[in-house]
Structure 1
Amino acid sequence: MNRTIARLTMRGLLSPRRLLLLSLIPLVLLAVAGLLRGLASGLAIDESTTVLATLGIGTVLPLVALICGTGAIATEIDDGSVVYLLAKPIGRPTIILTKYVVAVFGAVLLAVIPITLAALILVGADKGVVLAFAVSALVGALGYSALFLLLGVVTRHAVVVGLLYVLIWESFVGGAVPGAQALSVQQWSLSVGEKVADDGLISAAVSLPVGASLLTAVALFGLYFAVQRLRSLTLAGEQ
């Protein structure tokens, strides 16, 4: 990891203006959680976990990870400034790893922590659900960040493609269509939370070994191919 790259990426990714705009996404989740707690103090635990799974893990997390993952490198590639970075004697794996760490940090700050707070609001601190969703969100951030970082390297339309993926696949197909759920990062993340939570409080479409294995594979392959794609870029900025 390169500290200079990390600092510059952080400055661009989490600038005050962008941070303010990004904060609107998790604020929606917190507002919904507060509204549900205020209007229905007796909200059943299964209803609370459904809200956290669909709105938190299935929507807020991938949206934030999309912006952080693609924003960590896509802008530099689009405007051609990446050539200055590639001209430095810094290995491509170091560049990608640094960008990945920053993207994960952004996802943790703007998605994992708010999802945990939303869980606290909805179910209170006496349930294993809070820890379960915190862990689910964290492992999901690791998978999503690698996936969207790769997307930011391979296409100039990363945000559009990623948005379609999040809204169509993760939020709709992966969350509701049987069979297709097995190929959803959302369900892989929830499989980890299902193990952490008390029996029956969280339900995932895949088992823990399958979910953890696929999450690991997506993260590793995403980073690997991002490195390979970055190596294919020329100092003239051509792709």
Structure 2
Amino acid sequence: MTDLLMNPTVARLTSRSLLGRKRTLLLSLLPLALLSLCTLARILGSLDDDIAGQLQGSLSADLLSTFGFAIMMPLLGLIAGTGSIGPEIDEGSIVYLLAKPLNRYTIVVTKLLVAIGVVTAFGALPVLAAGVILTGELGEIAVAFAIGAFAAGVGYAAVFLLLAVITRNAVVVGLIYALIWESLVGGLVPGAQTLSIQQWATAIIEKTLGYEAQLLFVESAVDFSTGLLALVGVTLVATAYAGRRLQTIRLHDES
């Protein structure tokens, strides 16, 4: 059963591709920026009692939401999702993988799991660390935002992996989606918010925080059940469709 879901050889090759020197450096920049920003806020908090008080509440939530969710997670998902399969398709080297007696869905699921692992390591865990730095404890804020970051990372990785399978311009399309839809439209336009991975993950954070979410001004455009079902549904549909498209992919189509 495990072999049907994940192939060790494909996982190893994908990990090597995603964690090459240049891509690892690129993946590290965003979490380092987040941790540096939170460390600076913590230092300022130690010098100013007003800032210190805010770091225990809404200021921490604002920093994690604004930088961690609106910027970092979509971009990390883009790098990991497209990078897990996009370069192989662009170079045509995936033909050697497809020539093996491997189920196409197994290939997609394996690459998605590796991408999720990368997003977790460079996204969810740094968000957890950032929450601890800001609040000074491993409390509800740090844990809730880390869980939300993981949930968002799974959705982003699946969507961007699918983009890499269906278009050679996955990075450009992904950037437009991440920076315009998720960061601007999905965060500000009421109707569009219901179709935003960021909002779905925020619903999970809101549920995890409980009554404290109101005090921290953490509010999603959708309820918890809708957000969770939407994330699971998008992940499953994107993965299934990517596997289907991989079965009929035209490696030498230049259009």
Question: TM-score over 0.5 for the alignment?
Answer: yes
Retained in 2: the 8 A contact 1:78–1:156? yes
**CA deviations over 1:12-36 (Å, ceiling 9, x no partner):** 1111332122101111111111112
- Deviation of residue 156 (structure 1)? 0.6
Does the alignment pair 1:31 with 2:42?
no
Residue number among 136, 156, 180 corresponding to 1:144 in the alignment: 156
Matched residue type, 1:30: L
CA contact (8 A) 1:72 1:149 kept: yes
Deviations 1:152-176 (A, max 9, x none): 1011111111011111011111122
Q: Distance in 2 between matches of 1:238 and 1:169?
A: 29
For each residue in 1:118-175, what CA deviation from the matched residue of structure 2 results, as whole angstroms up to 9, or x when unmatched? Answer: 1111123263111111110111111111101001101111111101111101111112
Identify unmatched segments of 5+ residues in structure 2.
Answer: 1-5, 46-51
More off after superposition, 83-92 vs 35-44: 35-44
Residue identity matched to 1:14: L
1:17 to 16, 22, 29: 22
> Within 2, Cα distance between the matches of 1:153 and 1:128?
38
Q: Aligned to 1:209, which of 188, 202, 225?
A: 225
Q: 1:131 — aligned with what?
A: 143
Alpha-carbon distance in 2 for matches of 1:205, 1:38: 33
**TM-score normalised over the length of structure 2:** 0.89
Could you say what secondary structure the match of 1:51 adopts? helix
Residue by residue, what CA displacement relative to the aligned partner does 1:184-235 show, whole Å, maximum 9, x if unpaired?
A: 100100101111114123321210011001101110110011011101125x
Q: Distance in 1 between matches of 2:34 and 2:189?
A: 23
Q: Is the 8 A contact 1:37 1:43 kept in 2?
A: no
1:11, 1:19 → 2: CA distance? 10
Q: 1:107 aligns with which of 109, 119, 136?
A: 119
Matches within 5 A, 1:123-202: 123-125=135-137, 127-199=139-211, 200=214, 201=216, 202=218
- Aligned residue number for residue 7 of structure 1: 12
Task: Give the whole-Å Cα distance in 1 for the aligned partners of 2:139 and 2:111.
Answer: 35
CA drift at 1:43: 2.5
Name the residue aligned to 1:67.
79
Change (3 A) 1:238 1:85: farther
Secondary structure of the 1:156 match is: coil
Give 4+ residue runs of structure 1 displaced > 6 Å after superposition.
none
Counterpart-to-counterpart distance in 2, 1:120 and 1:205? 26
Distance change (3 Å), C-alpha of 1:90 and 1:238 = farther
Contact 1:77–1:237 (CA under 8 A) maintained in structure 2: no
Contact 1:69 1:100 in 2 (8 A): yes
Q: How does 1:38-117 map to 2 (within 5 A)?
A: 38-40=43-45, 41-44=52-55, 45-117=57-129
Count of aligned positions: 238
For 2:95 and 2:232, the matched residues in 1 are separated by 30
Measured in 1, the distance between the counterparts of 2:180 and 2:58 equals 24
Equivalent AA in structure 1 for residue 62 of structure 2: T
CA distance in 2, matches of 1:119, 1:181: 25
Structure 1 unaligned segments of length 5 or more: list them.
none
Shift of 1:237: 4.0
Q: Distance in 2 between matches of 1:32 and 1:205?
A: 27
Residue type of the alignment partner of 1:213: L
Q: Percent identity?
A: 47
